[in-house]
Structure 1
Amino acid sequence: MIDTATHLAEIYTSEAGAVYQCDRRNRIMLDFAGQRSLLKIEAFLRLKHAVDSINLDEMASSPARAADFDIVTVCGCDRCYVLTLPELCSLKELLAGARFMLELNSMLHECLHAELV
């Protein structure tokens, strides 16, 4: 069970879900498709890589019934995602937005810290 009383900082939100940062537990919370997953940053990055490696164009153009969905699971993630093409597109956008915001926050922190020193 995820402790929702913990202070969460919103990283990125889209229509598909949201990504939060929990400083207390040093974790990323992914809220997607009505489910919440608590991930270490390494597992978050592995999940993003796994989703990015799926060829959405090939999936969309394939007539095979098995191409209607994909299964995504990574080490360190408590969920196995069985996603359709629209869900994969939404998750891909959510993870990309969150990754961008994490990188931006890191760069801002470095710049501010460099000026203070």
Structure 2
Amino acid sequence: MQAATELREIYITPAGAVYQCDRKNRLMVDFAGTLSVLKIDTFLRLKHAIDKIDLQAMVTSTDRSSDVEIISVLGTDKVYVLTMPELHAFKELLAGARFVLELNSMLHECLNAELA
């Protein structure tokens, strides 16, 4: 149970959550019933891969193969197989987490600048 106290909640939606482990310098993405432990750069590559998916094109496509997207990024052995609604929820989760991480970074920079 000690590990649970080392995790900081970054962002939560009804579909999932992102936590940060400062001890191991990792992000933990809890989505679609699985937990992925990612380095920061892997998280950013995952977010970039998700952001590149055109949800509008998936909605308007008549091709049944466009109902599902398969996402795999360098740095993890996890493969995401997501439907369009899941992609939308995952995109929202990752965007919110990235925003909070950037906000925290800017706050630390401001605080350190004032203390110097």
TM range (shorter): over 0.9
Deviation at residue 5 of structure 1 after TM alignment: 2.0
- Please give the alpha-carbon distance, in whole angstroms, between the structure 2 residues aligned to 1:60 and 1:34: 24
2:86 corresponds to 1:78: no
The 1:22–1:86 alpha-carbon spacing in structure 2 relative to 1, beyond 3 Å, is same
Number of aligned residues: 115
Q: How does 1:20-31 map to 2 (within 5 A)?
A: 20-31=19-30
Deviation at residue 71 of structure 1 after TM alignment: 0.2
The 1:91–1:85 alpha-carbon spacing in structure 2 relative to 1, beyond 3 Å, is same
* TM-score normalised to structure 2 length: 0.96
Partner SS, residue 82 of structure 1: strand
Partner SS, residue 54 of structure 1: coil
- Please give the alpha-carbon distance, in whole angstroms, between the structure 2 residues aligned to 1:95 and 1:83: 14
| Runs of 4+ with deviation above 6 angstroms | none
Extract unaligned runs of 5+ from structure 2.
none
Partner SS, residue 5 of structure 1: helix
Residue 5 of structure 1 corresponds to: 3
2:50 corresponds to 1:51: yes
* TM-score normalised to structure 1 length: 0.95
8 A Cα contact 1:37 1:78, kept in partner: no
RMSD value, Cα: 1.3
- Please give the alpha-carbon distance, in whole angstroms, between the structure 1 residues aligned to 2:3 and 2:77: 20
The 1:65–1:39 alpha-carbon spacing in structure 2 relative to 1, beyond 3 Å, is same
Extract unaligned runs of 5+ from structure 1.
none
Q: Deviation string for 1:5-59 (max 9, x for gaps)?
A: 2510000000110000000100000000110000000000000000000000001
Deviation at residue 4 of structure 1 after TM alignment: 7.8
8 A Cα contact 1:22 1:28, kept in partner: yes
